[in-house]
A and B are shown apart, each in its own frame.
Chain A
Amino acid sequence: MDFIIAKYNYWIYIILMMIGFYAMIAKSNLIKKIIGMNIFQTAIILFFVSIAYKKGGATLPILTHADAHGEHAIQVAQYLNPLPHVLMLTAIVVSIATLGVALAIAIMMYRKYHTLEEDEILKAIK
């Protein structure tokens, strides 16, 4: 139980990711698929933000090549890391772009077939 509570944010990331994955694979409505895709991407953002945070006794991210081995003097597991947040800004932009393309394609299909159900569109194509 402690194992679950201590790392609850990672469990939430996995659960969210599986919800998104399920929606992308199993739902036949295109908009539901798109929503699933967005949940999937958001779960990854939660994961990245989680790895930045350290509990108790964390240091600042001072990176120096102090010991001349080309190795980071402070271990990555010990400092509060600001970089994943910045990476996630880029990932958010990417996911918005993906969402935009997906919605545009869905609108294209709706105008042509007047439905957003995948099986009905398949029937209309054949």
Chain B
Amino acid sequence: MIMEQAPALIVIISLMSAVATPLIGWLRKDLCYFWVILALLGSTCCSVLVLNTVMHEGIIHYHMGGWLPPWGIEYAIDHLNAMMLVLITGSSLLVAIYSKRSLEAELSDRTVYFYTLFLLQVTGFLGIVITGDVFNLYVFLEVASLSGYALIATGEEGAPLAAFRYLILGTVGACFYLLGVGYLYMVTGSLNMADLAEILPRLYGSKVILVAFAFFMVGIALKMALFPLHMWLPDAYTKAPSAASALIAPLMTKVAVYIMLRIMFTVFRPYFSIELLPVMKIMLYAGIIAIVIGAVMALAQRDFKRMLCYVVIAEVGYMVGGVGVANAVAIRGAILHVMNDVVMTLGLFAVAGILAYKMKNHEIGAFDNIFRKMPFTMAAFLVVALSVIGVPPTCGFFSKWYLIQGAVMAGNWTFVAALLFSSLVNVVLFFRIIETGYYDFGASGSGHAHEEGSAVSEAPLSMLIPTVIVAAAIILIGLYNQSILVNIINFAVPKL
């Protein structure tokens, strides 16, 4: 019984808990934290169950309210969705545990509303990933985005303006997506992804389909902050509260990459996206430019969180470029990188949140001596940094390896060069922080002051444990990447 309803429960649990959060906060404010963790634990269990079912029994089709597709809304869960579901619920659970102390410091009077929006945002992400209906996807996209704007607007000085700019651009992106849906609906009369995939091949010559595809691509590129459309991202993620940026930064862009994969390879057939249109070349070069510009801009930043934002932009370039290479190996690398990037970005922003909590500041210059003060946090940071750079056996190495392998097979040497360039820049980026963190530039005074400055003052356990779990997950995903590839990702790669 529960097993059959698990796909619906994943979304319903988080949605209903979001509605109930203000009521619980009205009764007792401090219960909210445990309520959110409980709700996300429920969602996580359901999504692990679903992943397990998908791995053993194949694709799940769940018909909402018993209405059959193409008229009713269908939840179609294959390996790609199931993987994303586990990633989203798992990482949001970790962020929920992590959020307590940092919220007390940053938003002490508004925790109840924060948690309501937090759960709504998770609901949006889960809905986008689980649904098999293009219009339903639009609605969930807006649920996720709207709660994201509100979460970002509660941040530090300047956050409302950043959130407002994000809102304007995000709305343009979502509206373009909606227009794409409209143009598809005009000629097919269907909104179900599987049904569209059946009907569309007969219409591939039509200009209406090309317009729809173009609107989809531009709209989603805005949402995922692909290079020329990335302007909203650095400000919004830098100024958001630490807990909010730890939730939004890993998931929003990756969920947008998921939508892109879905549209390109499920709604449209791979040969339409790859052979009939020059879109792959555009994506490849957009990816390369995003990687190079992201890396260079990251080098120019003095603010730790802002630097991480440009790292995120470069990572989006990896995935888009990997899909643009358009062979099975590179797309496999891109999908693996979606998974790795969720975990790595979560780790980076979690560390940034801890540093902001301890230092009340996220300028790199203020990070003197942090390795001695916070040995465990910085050990976790080191693992995450090595993974972003791409050192084996961390997970970042393997996805980069497949991306490079795919690019070499396709003879795309510019993409290989861009990936290697970005790895080198990442070395410089992270070693700059390690250098600042190891040495004691500030306290060159008396010996006593020095002793005080270097005393261990580790982050609170509720923040430290999720961060360490993320670091452990990075190594585990790296070590078990073969079985993840064989059991999950190989099924998610489209048949080219």
Q: Which of B157, B164, B190, B199 contacts A106 (CB 8 A)?
A: B164
Contact size range, B: 20 to 34
Q: Distance (Å) between the CB of B35 and the closest chain A CB? A: 24
Contact size range, A: 35 or more
Q: Is B185 an interface residue (CB 8 A)?
A: yes
> Nearest chain-A residue to B186 (Cβ)?
A51
In the complex, chain A residues 94-111 whose Cβ is within 8 Å of any chain B Cβ: 94, 97-98, 101-102, 104-106, 108-109
Q: Is A16 an interface residue (CB 8 A)?
A: no
Given contacts A30-B164, A40-B175, A105-B163, contact A90 B139 (CB under 8 A): yes
C-alpha spacing A37/B169, complex, angstroms: 10
**Which of chain A's residues have a CB closer than 8 A to the CB of B199?**
71-72
**Which of chain B's residues have a CB closer than 8 A to the CB of A104?**
150, 153
> Nearest chain-A residue to B161 (Cβ)?
A121
Q: Is B276 an interface residue (CB 8 A)?
A: no
Q: Is B171 an interface residue (CB 8 A)?
A: yes
Given contacts A30-B164, A108-B160, contact A24 B182 (CB under 8 A): no
Q: Is B423 an interface residue (CB 8 A)?
A: no
Q: Is B443 an interface residue (CB 8 A)?
A: no
**Which of chain A's residues have a CB closer than 8 A to the CB of B161?**
109, 118, 121-122, 125
Q: Is the CB of A112 within 8 A of B160?
A: yes
C-alpha spacing A17/B190, complex, angstroms: 25
C-alpha spacing A21/B189, complex, angstroms: 28
Q: Is the CB of B146 within 8 A of A108?
A: no
Q: Is B142 an interface residue (CB 8 A)?
A: yes
Q: Is B118 an interface residue (CB 8 A)?
A: no
Q: Distance (Å) between the CB of A112 and the closest chain B CB? A: 7
Secondary structure at the A interface, as helix, strand, loop or mixed, is helix
Q: Distance (Å) between the CB of B161 and the closest chain A CB? A: 6
> Nearest chain-B residue to A122 (Cβ)?
B161
Q: Is A58 an interface residue (CB 8 A)?
A: no
**Which of chain B's residues have a CB closer than 8 A to the CB of A97?**
142, 146
Given contacts A40-B175, A108-B153, contact A51 B182 (CB under 8 A): yes
C-alpha spacing A71/B417, complex, angstroms: 47
C-alpha spacing A44/B168, complex, angstroms: 16
In the complex, chain B residues 139-181 whose Cβ is within 8 Å of any chain A Cβ: 139, 142, 146, 149-150, 153, 157-158, 160-161, 163-164, 167-168, 171-172, 175, 178-179
Q: Is B187 an interface residue (CB 8 A)?
A: yes
**Which of chain B's residues have a CB closer than 8 A to the CB of A30?**
164
Q: Is the CB of A24 within 8 A of B185?
A: no
Q: Which of A41, A76, A83, A108 contacts B175 (CB 8 A)?
A: A41
Q: Distance (Å) between the CB of A107 and the closest chain B CB? A: 9
C-alpha spacing A47/B183, complex, angstroms: 9
Given contacts A76-B186, A76-B189, A77-B187, contact A98 B146 (CB under 8 A): yes
Q: Is the CB of A101 within 8 A of B149?
A: yes
> Nearest chain-A residue to B154 (Cβ)?
A108
Q: Is B188 an interface residue (CB 8 A)?
A: yes
Q: Mark A67-105, 1 if CB is under 8 A from B, else 0.
A: 000111001110001011001001100100110011011
Q: Is B198 an interface residue (CB 8 A)?
A: yes
Q: Which of B167, B185, B187, B189 contacts A101 (CB 8 A)?
A: B167
**Which of chain A's residues have a CB closer than 8 A to the CB of B146?**
97-98, 101
Q: Distance (Å) between the CB of B186 and the closest chain A CB? A: 5
**Which of chain B's residues have a CB closer than 8 A to the CB of A21?**
172
Q: Which of B160, B171, B185 contacts A98 (CB 8 A)?
A: B171
> Nearest chain-B residue to A111 (Cβ)?
B160
Top 5 A-B pairs, shortest CB-CB distance:
A76-B189, A125-B158, A51-B186, A94-B142, A109-B160
Other contacts beyond A21-B172, A40-B171, A63-B71: 17, CB < 8 A: A33-B168, A40-B172, A44-B178, A44-B179, A51-B185, A71-B198, A76-B186, A77-B187, A94-B142, A98-B142, A102-B164, A102-B167, A105-B153, A105-B163, A106-B164, A109-B160, A125-B161
Interface residues of A (CB under 8 A from B): 21, 24, 30, 33, 37, 40-41, 44, 47-48, 51, 63, 70-72, 75-77, 81, 83-84, 87, 90-91, 94, 97-98, 101-102, 104-106, 108-109, 112, 118, 121-122, 125
List, sorted by A's number, 11 A–B pairs whose CB atoms are closer than 8 Å: A37-B168, A71-B199, A87-B135, A98-B146, A101-B149, A105-B153, A105-B164, A109-B161, A109-B164, A112-B160, A125-B161
